[in-house]
Amino acid sequence: MTASPDLRTPQLGSPDLLRSVFRRHAAGVAVITAGGEQGPVGFTATSLTSVSAEPPMLSFGVGTGASSWPVLSEADHVGVHILGEHQQELAATFARSGADRFGAPTVWREGPEGVPVLDDVLAWLVCRVVARVPACDHRIVLAEVVLGDPAGPGRPLLYHQGRFGGLRD
């Protein structure tokens, strides 16, 4: 094994190190939604992960300080929406604190199990929440897929280096 001529000194684990490394990790962009007594809630997530095929299950992380958390902490079902590269503004709206996420120009409808379903997305799922696992100031939500639609047209929206963008050919 030969040493690289560009050796760098590793950094100790820290929030800044984690953020710096994950800025270099391109991630797909999703919006998670849930219905609540005071109206729908939702947020932009890049932590969406497939967990298992049998049963069909996924996970996502949500901060316990997020405005959506009180509703998500009690929701039986959630909506998971895969955004297309044409939906940068929608992603930004659902990521912005204090934004009217479900007001115009957001187009949505009440879907199965009372879950808000966003229009014009690449794909969406309605999922039954099966667990909320504590993870420091977040919860990892495990949810089983109940139904959905994978057939929206377009290419996926990505998040990389703090910006939304699309795939390059």
Q: Could you give the CA distance from residue 112 to residue 116 in angstroms, rounded to a whole number? A: 8
pLDDT of residue 31: 98
- CA dist 134 and 97 (Å) reads 23
The average confidence (pLDDT) of the chain is: 94
pLDDT at 5: 64
Quote the pTM value.
0.92
Residue 95: HSE in the Cβ half-sphere, 13 Å Cα cutoff: 16
Residue 165 class from Cβ within 10 Å (0-12 exposed, 13-18 middle, 19+ buried)? Answer: middle
Mean pLDDT for 112-135 is: 97
pLDDT > 90 fraction of the chain, expressed in percent and rounded: 89
Specify the pLDDT at position 113.
Answer: 96
